[in-house]
Every structure is written in structure tokens, then in C-alpha cells.
Amino acid sequence: MRETTFYMIVYAWIAVAIFIFPVVIRIIAPYGRHATKNWGGMIDNRVGWILMELPALLVFSVFYLAGSGDHPVVTWLFFGLWVLHYINRTLIFPLRLRTKGKKMPLAIVFMAIGFNFINGFINGYYLGTLATEAQYPISYLSDSRFIGGITLFFFGMFINWQSDNILIHLRKPGETGYVIPSKGFFQLVSCPNHFGEIVEWFGFALMTWCSPALAFAIWTLVNLMPRALHHHKWYQATFPEYPAERKALFPYIL
């Protein structure tokens, strides 16, 4: 693929995210607590989760490993961080869920597969084919962009994993129903798991300092902000005692 064509794809992908944001912010994603059969056929939510996250792990890995570029040492670190996140997100997290019997629409699974395929491709291709030793010398590890970015990445990952763990253990095995989370960053926002993932991928964009990673970070924000706002409204409508000071996504802001 010609480099100019690749960047046209990346910039078009960013433009699509900005264009559809006013639309998706009005649509309640129909899975989890908002699950509905109105979107067509349903699939077990664990199976659906694995299927829809798998392309981000496999496609990224294939395009990075098979890329014709220099594969500088620094990009191997980027590769490892991406894979670390998606091994948890694709294989570990769904198997820890205590949601036996719950389903999600196949339409959501297919849309997520497309979303993760594109993001996996643009980031894997860039790091595996276009990234150069001159761009990422070993001295880049002391660059302020790398230090700031990897700090944000691990901070976001910590919040994301901690929040997921809190949600998983809200109910004992076999219990149903919803309760108000109150530990960790749930004291500040309704969806710290989403907040952590947004911070994580903007950290990745900062440390890699490239447009494909920025595109993925923007799409993460566009995808997760509406979901957090809808979750927040659901909590407020479901629990009259829900903490009034708690924000939806960004502590003290939104």
C-alpha cells in the first residue's frame, strides 16, 4: 500500500468519527443493562465479546509482525502494550464475567468486529511497515512524549482493570440485579472503566506520536462517551439515592 493512500484512510477514519459523534451520542447501545431484541438476533454475551474484540488482537499482530518495516526495538514495546491490553480484553475479561444467560445483539458484534479490524489494521500496519529506526531510536524511551504517554497508559489501564474487577465482584455467583458501585473511581464517576480506557489510548497516542494511534484514541472517546452518559442517566433513573455529585465519565467535569 502506498503511504499516501494509507494516510488518506487514517484521516478519513478520523473524519468519520467526528461526523458520526452527534448521531451515536443519541443511540443507546443495546447490550448489557440496555440489551434488547429489537436489533435482531442475539448471541451469548461472553462469546460475542470474544468475537468482537478478537480482530483488534489478531489483525494488529498480523500486520505488525508481517510488516516490511525496520521493527525498531521501541515499536516492539508498543506492540507488547497493545497485546497486553487485548489479551485481557479479549480472553481474560469475558471469561471472568458473572453474566450467565445474558445475550447481546449480533448486530453490535458485527459492528465492533469492523471497528476493531480497522483500528487493528491502521496501527499494526503503521508500526510494522512505516515506523522507522530514525523515528523511534532507543533514545526515544527518554523522550517526554514517551514518558508522559506510557504514564497515562498504565494509569488508564489501572483504572480500567480496577473498575472492571469491582463490577465483576458486585454480585456473588448466581445473584442477579443491579447495585450502585461505590469503590475506587466509582466514587467520582459512573463509568471509570470507560474513563480508564480513554486515558489509556490517549496515552498510547501520545507515546507513539502517530496519527493511527490518535485515530484510535478519538474513536475510543466517540464510542465510550455516549455509553457512559447513557449509563449515568440509567443509574440516576433507577436509584433515587444515586450520589448527586458523581459525574458520568470525567471526574468533576462531565
> For residues 190 and 178, what is the distance between their CA atoms, to the nearest angstrom?
13
> Is residue 165 in some structural domain?
yes
> Is residue 249 in some structural domain?
no
> Is residue 61 in some structural domain?
yes
The pTM of this model reads: 0.92
Measure Cα distances from 216 to 161, 211, 227 in Å.
19, 9, 17
> For residues 202 and 220, what is the distance between their CA atoms, to the nearest angstrom?
9
pLDDT at residue 140, as a whole number: 97
> Is residue 211 in some structural domain?
yes
Q: Which domain holds residue 205?
A: 3-238
Q: Three-state secondary structure along 99-121?
A: CCCCEEEHHHHHHHHHHHHHHHH
pLDDT at residue 39, as a whole number: 64
pLDDT at residue 15, as a whole number: 97
pLDDT at residue 102, as a whole number: 80
Measure Cα distances from 209 to 103, 112, 115, 126, 134 in Å.
38, 25, 21, 12, 14
Do the beta carbons of residue 180 and residue 189 sit within 8 Å? no
pLDDT at residue 141, as a whole number: 97
Cα-flanking dihedrals φ and ψ of residue 42, to 5°? -115, 160
> For residues 251 and 235, what is the distance between their CA atoms, to the nearest angstrom?
16
> Is residue 30 in some structural domain?
yes
> Is residue 250 in some structural domain?
no
pLDDT at residue 34, as a whole number: 57
> Is residue 246 in some structural domain?
no
Number of domains making up the chain: 1
pLDDT in tens, the chain (254 residues): 789 999 999 999 999 999 999 998 887 766 556 556 666 688 888 888 899 999 999 999 999 999 999 999 999 999 999 999 999 999 998 888 876 768 888 888 898 999 999 999 999 999 999 999 999 999 999 999 999 999 999 999 999 999 999 988 887 666 667 888 989 999 999 999 999 999 999 999 999 999 999 999 999 999 999 999 999 999 999 999 999 999 999 999 99
> Is residue 251 in some structural domain?
no
